[in-house]
């Protein structure tokens, strides 16, 4: 049953992925693989297909590196849920997904050896596979790269391989079949991997045990060094907070030759780095202050000052954007400053409630992943073009015209309103789908918006 399922999925991959710009087809293929794995695992863990479908949505929105990462995470977590047969909790699910990725090569090699071992009488096939896996695998990659880089070798092999069915293209296709088959197989063997995926990486520790394990340490990081650091850092941060309050919010006059935009730009990113370092030190120092109420209060005051520091960085960056416009880096910085502020809020809650460092790191990781997930559905290029073309900022024509296709509707709308061409040379290319397999929701919206502008010129 597994072999027939493998052949069917390889055939599906050949139609959905081979020589196609991945898009919707990759999401459909992933659902098909998990659905077959669900059937072979005994019709248990259907929620794994649901969580995978949610994580596949960024890929349906647009094909990009981040959406492919979510697709891979969806495949691993979905298969982990199916293998465990029921909802195991977030921590165990993430562990099962990680273990699936790490143990997949072992499962593929082991099952392949069991399949062909009867044909090799008395030969240690496992040793042969392990001994040749690296040279043959990496060697195949080198051969493919050489074929692409050296047309003389390619022409020579084409002359040797005169059979129509054994052309270089067909060789590439067969290599694709073998590779995709190896990737698919672990999803068809989830029942075999079930017990292995149930194992934990680390044992859980109580907050009291964590505090006792570090409270008595001496050296570079100790109770004394943490205490002195907290008092010193509070003074330094208070000085910076006071200056920001005076110059940014209090209307104090800046030194001659310095405008608010320059003042904002010079401080935005360094203050963000300070906030990140402060968050890390707060996590490091918490076990040393857990049993000391005064130091705990000092730590909370310092973290609160760090939150104000992030707010100051946000305001500084906003002032700079108002003068010089929006870019990808500035937009990403705005997002991550908000994430840092939220993370510091989690640090405060951890200190107040006495949770473990593992509790904090888990929730910070969830926060970061959630933000990455939602920004997959935001067209940065369109947001940048819309802001810069609708605000009184210097128009960097070269930068705006070098953005992706998402900026094109805003450029076309600006041209329709101004009556003049904006991009005089290069401009973003309108998306084109070869067929439905390459379809992406964001590119489809761009096509629709361009058609509306062309037909009506109406404001979108």
- Asked if residue 250 lies in contact with residue 274, where contact means CB atoms within 8 angstroms, the answer is no
The per-residue pLDDT for range 147-173, each reduced to its tens digit, is 666 666 666 666 655 544 455 566 778
Residue 379 has pLDDT above 80, yes or no: yes
Of 7-21, 362-376, 422-436, minimum mean pLDDT range: 422-436
Band the pLDDT of 81: cuts 50, 70, 90: very high
pTM: 0.76
- Closest by CA position to 438, among listed 18, 63, 23: 23
Tell me what percent of the residues of the chain surpass a pLDDT of 90.
22
The more confident residue out of 451 and 458 is 451
Band the pLDDT of 460: cuts 50, 70, 90: very low
Identity of the highest mean pLDDT range in 50-54, 84-88, 170-174, 215-219: 50-54
The more confident residue out of 97 and 155 is 97
- pLDDT number for residue 426: 77
The per-residue pLDDT for range 197-213, each reduced to its tens digit, is 887 655 555 555 555 54
- pLDDT number for residue 218: 46
- pLDDT number for residue 152: 63
The more confident residue out of 275 and 412 is 412
The per-residue pLDDT for range 385-408, each reduced to its tens digit, is 999 999 888 888 889 998 989 999
The whole-chain average pLDDT of the chain stands at 79
Of 179-188, 274-283, 291-300, 351-360, minimum mean pLDDT range: 274-283
- pLDDT number for residue 29: 94
Mean pLDDT of 52-70: 93
Tell me what percent of the residues of the chain surpass a pLDDT of 70.
76
């Amino acid at each position: 049953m597994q072999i027939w399922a493998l052949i069917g999925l390889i055939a599906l991959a050949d139609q959905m992925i081979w020589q196609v710009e991945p898009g919707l087809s990759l999401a459909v293929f992933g659902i098909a693989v998990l659905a077959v794995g669900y059937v072979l695992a005994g019709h248990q863990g259907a929620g794994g297909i649901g969580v995978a479908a949610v994580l596949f949505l960024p890929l349906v929105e647009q094909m990009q590196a981040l959406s492919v990462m979510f697709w891979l995470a969806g495949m691993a977590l979905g298969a982990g849920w199916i293998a465990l047969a029921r909802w195991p909790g977030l921590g165990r699910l993430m562990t099962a997904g990680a273990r699936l990725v790490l143990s997949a090569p072992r499962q593929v090699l082991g099952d392949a050896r069991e399949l062909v071992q009867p044909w090799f009488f008395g030969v240690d096939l496992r040793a042969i596979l392990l001994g040749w896996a690296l040279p043959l695998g990496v060697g195949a990659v080198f051969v493919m790269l050489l074929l692409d880089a050296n047309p003389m070798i390619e022409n020579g092999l084409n002359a040797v391989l005169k059979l129509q069915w054994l052309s270089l293209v067909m060789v590439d296709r067969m290599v694709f079949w073998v590779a995709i088959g190896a990737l698919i197989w672990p999803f068809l063997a989830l029942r075999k991997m079930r017990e292995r995926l149930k194992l934990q990486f680390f044992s859980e520790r109580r907050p009291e045990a964590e505090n006792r394990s570090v409270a008595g340490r001496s050296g570079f990081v100790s109770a004394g060094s943490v205490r002195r650091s907290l008092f010193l850092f509070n003074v330094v941060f208070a000085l910076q907070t006071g200056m920001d309050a005076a110059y940014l919010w209090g209307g104090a006059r800046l030194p001659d030759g310095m405008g608010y935009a320059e003042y904002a730009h010079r401080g935005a990113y360094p203050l963000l780095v300070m906030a990140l370092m402060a968050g890390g030190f707060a996590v490091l120092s918490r076990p040393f202050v857990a049993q000391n109420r005064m130091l705990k209060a000092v730590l909370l005051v310092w973290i609160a000052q760090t939150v104000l520091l992030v707010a100051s960085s946000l305001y500084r960056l906003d002032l700079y954007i108002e003068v010089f416009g929006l870019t990808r880096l500035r937009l990403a910085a705005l997002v991550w400053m908000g994430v840092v502020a939220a993370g510091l809020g989690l640090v405060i809650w951890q200190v107040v409630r006495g949770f473990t460092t593992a509790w904090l790191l888990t929730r910070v990781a969830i926060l970061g992943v959630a933000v990455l997930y939602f920004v997959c559905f935001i067209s940065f290029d369109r947001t940048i073009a819309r802001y810069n073309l609708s605000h009184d900022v210097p128009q960097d024509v070269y930068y705006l015209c070098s953005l992706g296709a998402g900026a094109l509707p805003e450029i076309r709308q600006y041209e329709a309103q101004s009556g003049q061409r904006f991009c005089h040379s290069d401009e973003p290319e309108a998306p084109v789908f070869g067929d439905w397999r390459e379809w992406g929701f964001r590119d489809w919206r761009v096509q629709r918006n361009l058609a509306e502008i062309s037909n009506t010129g109406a404001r979108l």
